[in-house]
């Protein structure tokens, strides 16, 4: 996230606040997301649900609404399956870009009490800093 008021906005992924880390620059913060993309029949952890698509929101804490966001699909949202690898970097980037949609963020008011409670739990979590592990949200944080 670049150039925003850190006390006013929270970035969420599927409704869970992301633990943003500062970089060497004053107005740039980064975070990572670990999630389960799909669930094959031979899965080692059959109780962890699939988290796709990922809905990323920028939540304004003053108004309690999402100010924008995007949706990321693990596979092409139209179901397109490629038979061959990309021929160059331009085609590879085009395939990655087709997974993002600039719409799909959360409409309406957001429960700020639940969001702040989850953010407080994240602050004391012992996993890697700056990494949101959605696989743990259903088990460790409930």
The model's pLDDT over 55-93, given as tens digits with 9 standing for 90+, comes to 999 999 999 999 989 999 988 777 788 889 999 999 999
Residue 142: is its pLDDT beyond 60?
no
- Domain span including residue 26: 9-137
Mean pLDDT across the chain: 85
Closest CA to 54 of 138, 124, 132: 132
Whether residue 104 is contained in a domain is answered as: yes
- Cβ neighbors of 114 (< 8 A, separation 6 or more) are none
Name 35's bridge partners: none
**pLDDT value of position 2:** 63
More confident residue, 126 or 76: 76
Whether residue 19 is contained in a domain is answered as: yes
- Total tally of structural domains belonging to the chain: 1
Whether residue 109 is contained in a domain is answered as: yes
Whether residue 1 is contained in a domain is answered as: no
Q: Percent of the chain scored above 70 by pLDDT?
A: 91
Q: Which of these ranges, 13-17, 18-22, 66-70, 133-137, has the smallest mean pLDDT? A: 133-137
Whether residue 3 is contained in a domain is answered as: no
Whether residue 56 is contained in a domain is answered as: yes
**pLDDT value of position 26:** 78
Whether residue 2 is contained in a domain is answered as: no
Whether residue 4 is contained in a domain is answered as: no
Give me Rg for the CA atoms of the chain: 17
**For the chain, what's the residue count?**
142
């Amino acid at each position: 996230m670049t150039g925003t008021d850190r006390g006013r906005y929270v970035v969420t992924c599927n409704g869970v606040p992301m633990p943003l880390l500062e970089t060497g620059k004053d107005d740039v913060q980064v975070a990572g997301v670990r999630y389960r993309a799909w669930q094959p029949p031979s899965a080692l952890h059959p109780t962890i649900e699939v988290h796709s698509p990922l809905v990323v929101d920028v939540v304004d804490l003053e108004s309690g609404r999402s100010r924008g966001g995007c949706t990321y699909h693990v596979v092409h949202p139209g179901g397109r399956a490629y038979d061959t690898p990309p021929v160059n970097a331009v085609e590879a980037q085009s395939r990655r870009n087709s997974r993002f949609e600039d719409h799909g963020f959360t409409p309406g008011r957001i429960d700020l009490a639940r969001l702040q409670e989850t953010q407080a739990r994240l602050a004391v979590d012992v996993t890697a800093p700056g990494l949101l592990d959605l696989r743990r949200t259903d088990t460790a944080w409930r």
